[in-house]
């Protein structure tokens, strides 16, 4: 076994070849190991290995005999496949030659057949062409027969069908056929239109159309004379027949279009019967408001605007009561009143397009025109229900040169208004100063007038048709707000020396009011829509950071945020200046109080009644007077910020400069507590329920200074243990818990230790 072990150590494994010695060595080591008794297993092991060897030899012989048979079968299959493939290739060659031969023989036939097919197709086209001509001629003959028998409704229906065929043929390249159909439609359309128009106008004349006065003064119209049913039946019949000519009329009549520079929304032509009803009004409009008539003057746009509104109002009841039912019965979705208004508005748009270039550079005339147009639009929408999706005067005012001029004039007059409002004697006086309930904001007249100006500008541009134009006006409003802020800042700087004066407070109220109103406007639906439009514009132009875009999209910011931030900064600066001014006065008045003899004051038991320290009177009187003064001059929200900022400063000053700078006996500590809790704190009790919460340093210092001796000693012991990091005794509270139990939360542990050291009434403990 030792020799085997030695040989085992000498055998190394050859990784590149099948290493039999190594595996034998491993096998012997695994089966026999170092145990001499295991040598008895050799016989059984040799027998087992012999059996394995015999079994492996049998497997090798079996495989050796089977493999050649499989290979032989595979070779036979391959030979069979090769023969089949050769046979298929031969057949393919024969078939290919047969096909080529057939194609050569059939080629002359194909050429002849192509010629015949071409001839058949041409004959079919000719036949279809003739069928179209025959169809149109049949329809034309039908219309003629209907007219000869005075069957106008059927003639109109047939013409409508012919017009639809004309529309279907528009994609055809048969120009002569198209011309023939169009000329046939035009021929019969003119005959039918002239006849129906004549009859329709006769019925309208019987109705005393158009109505030049209000409905109650109309001679017939909505009245009911004896022949009214017959007249209204004729009206309905002719109206419906004219409606049937609408398709052919749109084919033949090119609608009048304004120049492309005016961004009008697409709209269908006015229906034919309404056009006929409008003819007399259009003639009147052109007679009075074009040419050299005295009624056609540039400085009186209200004349033609008012006239159109009167016409719409005078005819609205008749259109709703008599014409709308006819349209509904005919299955039309047209609204008679809107159709009538739309046609008259188009007259206005044509008039504006002609007049505006003549007065574009006359500020007075142009501004007057814009004012009158806006009044017209307001009444048109609010009274007569006009739709914003239809062409309106705002589309004319949105034309580039006109719109830029409007912006310029708007800014010019706004700046003039700002100059006048700031130079007014009542600029800084509130209109509602004598009405307490209304004057809560104490808004000076100039600020209220300015915000009214911005509101009016919003009303003027909110009906503009596109968001881009509205955003330009919003930009103008921001410019005006910034300009007004700069003017307020300039006036404020002139009043800096009198920061508690009436005008300074009025400026501060104005700044606060403007910021408040702009914040309210930011939540208005109109400005939220503009915010979304601005977001889309800036996202396309990449003029904002991703953070800013995200804030706009999540509504965390608003379109007025920049302006509001600047105003809030100005407000904070002005309030800080006022607080500093009052605080300086309080500090000066507190100098005597600081020098009070806190170490030698009599104890509370020695006094019959506690009274305010005489040295504290100037400080408290100054505080009281200034609080009363600013409460009257500042609005509630500003005054609240003011007194809270002032209270914070006074609290720190008295704590640091008076309490921490002196030592106190029992009487001094009691007097300090009385002065603060019974005199200083109540000054602020008008403005909050618990004023001592705004003077936490003073309040907690008084608690420490007025502790009885036992409690003070215990607290001192606890704080000393905490500062020396000594372990707490059982049932001994922590320093923080002990302070909280006394009501001390603001002061740090070190500050409390200093306050305890300022007490002079410690007992003699021998330490």
Above 60 in pLDDT, residue 12? Answer: no
Mean pLDDT value of segment 317-327 = 93
End-to-end CA distance of the chain: 92
pLDDT at 556: 66
Distance, in Å, from the CA atom of 577 to the CA atom of 37, rounded to the nearest integer, reads: 109
Nearest residue to 563 (alpha-carbon basis) of 640, 476, 495: 476
E-state strands within 68-209: none
Task: Please list the helix, strand and coil fractions of the chain in percent, rounded to the nearest 5, in that order.
Answer: 75, 0, 25
Above 90 in pLDDT, residue 121? Answer: no
Of residues 675 and 732, the one with the higher pLDDT is 675
Residue 727 lies in a domain: yes
* Residue 528 in tokens: 């939220």
Q: Are residues 464 and 413 in the same domain?
A: yes
Nearest residue to 636 (alpha-carbon basis) of 439, 346, 480: 439
Distance, in Å, from the CA atom of 180 to the CA atom of 203, rounded to the nearest integer, reads: 35
Residue 15 lies in a domain: no
pLDDT digits (tens, 9 = 90+) for 595-615: 999 998 888 888 778 899 999
Q: Are residues 414 and 546 in the same domain?
A: yes
> Which residues form the domain of 311?
254-398
Mean pLDDT value of segment 143-148 = 92
Above 50 in pLDDT, residue 742? Answer: yes
Q: What is the mean pLDDT of the chain?
A: 87
Mean pLDDT value of segment 371-380 = 95
Distance, in Å, from the CA atom of 688 to the CA atom of 614, rounded to the nearest integer, reads: 26
Q: Is the dihedral of CA 179, 182, 188, 194 positive or negative?
A: negative
Q: For the whole model, what pTM was predicted?
A: 0.76
Q: Are residues 568 and 682 in the same domain?
A: no
Distance of CA 187 to the CA centre of its chain: 55
Q: Are residues 385 and 456 in the same domain?
A: no
Residue 673 lies in a domain: yes
Least confident of 24-33, 112-121, 479-488, 581-590: 24-33
Q: Of 90, 114, 130, which residue sits at a domain end?
A: 130
Residue 684 lies in a domain: yes
Q: Is the dihedral of CA 731, 736, 740, 743 positive or negative?
A: positive
Q: Are residues 605 and 546 in the same domain?
A: no
Above 60 in pLDDT, residue 37? Answer: yes
Domain count, the chain: 4
**Cα dihedral 590, 593, 595, 597 in deg (nearest 10):** -170
For 165, phi then psi, to 5°, come to -65, -40
Contacting residues for 576 by C-beta, under 8 A, at least 6 apart: 645
Distance, in Å, from the CA atom of 749 to the CA atom of 726, rounded to the nearest integer, reads: 15
Q: Are residues 564 and 710 in the same domain?
A: no
pLDDT digits (tens, 9 = 90+) for 252-277: 888 788 888 888 888 899 999 999 99
Q: Are residues 423 and 307 in the same domain?
A: no
Of residues 4 and 677, the one with the higher pLDDT is 677
Q: Are residues 346 and 434 in the same domain?
A: no
Nearest residue to 210 (alpha-carbon basis) of 309, 119, 110, 311: 311
Q: Are residues 383 and 414 in the same domain?
A: no
Residue 16 lies in a domain: no
Residue 158 lies in a domain: no
Q: Are residues 625 and 562 in the same domain?
A: no
Q: Are residues 708 and 692 in the same domain?
A: yes
CATH number of residue 629's parent domain: 1.20.58
Q: Of 65, 97, 130, which residue sits at a domain end?
A: 130
CATH number of residue 548's parent domain: 1.10.357
Q: Of 398, 424, 445, which residue sits at a domain end?
A: 398
pLDDT at 633: 92
- Fill in the DSSP letter of residue 265: P
Q: Binning pLDDT at 50, 70 and 90, where does residue 578 land?
A: very high
Residue 12 C-beta-side C-alpha neighbours within 13 Å: 3
Q: Binning pLDDT at 50, 70 and 90, where does residue 766 land?
A: very low
Q: Are residues 276 and 386 in the same domain?
A: yes
């Amino acid at each position: 076994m030792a020799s085997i072990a030695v040989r085992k150590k000498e055998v190394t494994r050859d990784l590149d070849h099948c290493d039999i010695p190594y595996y034998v060595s491993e096998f012997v080591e695994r089966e026999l190991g170092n145990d001499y008794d295991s040598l008895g297993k050799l016989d059984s092991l040799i027998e087992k290995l012999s059996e394995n060897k015999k079994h492996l030899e049998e497997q090798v012989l079996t495989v050796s005999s089977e493999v050649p048979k499989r290979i032989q079968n595979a070779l036979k299959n391959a030979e069979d496949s090769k023969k089949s493939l050769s046979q298929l290739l031969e057949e393919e060659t024969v078939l290919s030659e047969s096909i080529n031969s057939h194609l050569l023989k059939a080629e002359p036939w194909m050429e002849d057949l192509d010629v015949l097919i071409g001839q058949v197709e041409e004959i079919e086209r000719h036949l279809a062409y003739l069928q179209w001509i025959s169809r149109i001629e049949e329809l034309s003959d039908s219309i003629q027969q209907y007219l000869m028998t005075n069957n106008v409704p059927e003639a109109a229906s047939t013409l409508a069908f012919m017009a639809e065929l004309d529309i279907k043929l528009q994609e055809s390249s048969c120009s002569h056929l198209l011309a023939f159909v169009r000329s046939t439609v035009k021929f019969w359309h003119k005959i039918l239109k002239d006849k129906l128009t004549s009859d329709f106008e006769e019925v309208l004349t019987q109705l005393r159309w158009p109505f030049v006065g209000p409905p109650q003064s109309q001679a017939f119209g909505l009245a009911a004379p004896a022949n009214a049913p017959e007249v209204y039946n004729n009206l309905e019949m002719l109206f419906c027949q004219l409606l049937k000519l609408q398709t052919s009329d749109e084919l033949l009549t090119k609608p009048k279009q304004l120049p492309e520079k005016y961004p009008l929304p697409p709209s269908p032509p006015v229906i034919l019967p309404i056009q006929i009803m409008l003819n007399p009004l259009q003639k009147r409009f052109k007679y009075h408001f074009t040419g050299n008539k005295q009624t056609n003057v540039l400085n009186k746009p209200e004349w033609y605007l008012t006239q159109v509104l009167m016409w719409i109002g005078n005819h609205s009841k008749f259109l709703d009561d008599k014409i709308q039912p006819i349209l509904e019965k005919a299955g039309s979705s047209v609204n008679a009143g809107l159709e009538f208004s739309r046609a008259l508005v188009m007259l206005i748009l044509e008039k504006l397009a002609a007049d505006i270039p003549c007065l574009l550079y006359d500020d007075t005339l142009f501004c007057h025109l814009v004012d009158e147009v806006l009044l017209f639009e307001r009444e048109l929408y609010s009274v007569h229900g006009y739709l914003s999706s239809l062409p309106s005067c705002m589309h004319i005012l949105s034309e580039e040169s006109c719109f830029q001029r409007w912006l310029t004039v708007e800014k010019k007059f706004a700046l003039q208004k700002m100059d006048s409002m700031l130079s007014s004697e009542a600029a800084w006086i509130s209109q509602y100063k004598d009405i307490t309930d209304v004057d809560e904001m104490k808004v000076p007249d100039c600020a209220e007038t300015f915000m009214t100006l911005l509101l009016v500008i919003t009303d003027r541009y909110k009906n503009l048709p596109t968001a881009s134009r509205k955003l330009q006006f919003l930009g103008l409003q921001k410019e005006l707000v910034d300009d007004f802020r700069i003017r307020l800042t300039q006036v404020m700087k002139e009043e800096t020396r009198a920061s508690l004066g009436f005008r300074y407070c009025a400026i501060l109220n104005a700044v606060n009011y403007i910021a408040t109103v702009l914040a309210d406007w930011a939540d208005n639906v109109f400005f939220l829509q503009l915010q979304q439009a601005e977001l889309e514009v800036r996202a396309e132009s990449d003029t904002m950071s991703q953070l800013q875009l995200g804030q706009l999209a999540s509504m965390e910011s608003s379109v007025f945020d920049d302006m509001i931030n600047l105003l809030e900064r100005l407000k904070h600066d002005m309030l800080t200046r006022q607080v500093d001014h009052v605080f300086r006065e309080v500090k000066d008045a507190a100098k005597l109080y600081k020098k009070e003899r806190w170490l030698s004051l009599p104890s509370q038991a020695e006094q019959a009644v506690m009274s305010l320290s005489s040295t504290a009177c100037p400080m408290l009187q100054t505080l009281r007077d200034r609080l009363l003064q600013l409460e009257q001059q500042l609005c509630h929200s500003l005054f609240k910020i003011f007194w809270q900022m002032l209270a914070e400063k006074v609290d720190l000053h008295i704590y640091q400069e008076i309490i921490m700078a002196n030592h106190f006996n029992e009487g001094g500590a009691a007097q300090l507590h009385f002065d603060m809790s019974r005199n200083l704190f109540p000054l602020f009790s008008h403005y909050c329920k618990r004023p001592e919460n705004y003077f936490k340093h003073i309040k907690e210092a008084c608690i420490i200074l007025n502790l009885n001796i036992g409690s003070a000693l215990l607290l001192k012991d606890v704080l000393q243990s905490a500062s020396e990091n000594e372990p707490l005794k059982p049932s001994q509270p922590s320093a923080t818990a002990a302070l909280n139990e006394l009501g001390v939360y603001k002061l740090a542990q070190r500050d409390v230790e200093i306050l305890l050291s300022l007490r002079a009434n410690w007992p003699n403990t021998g330490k």
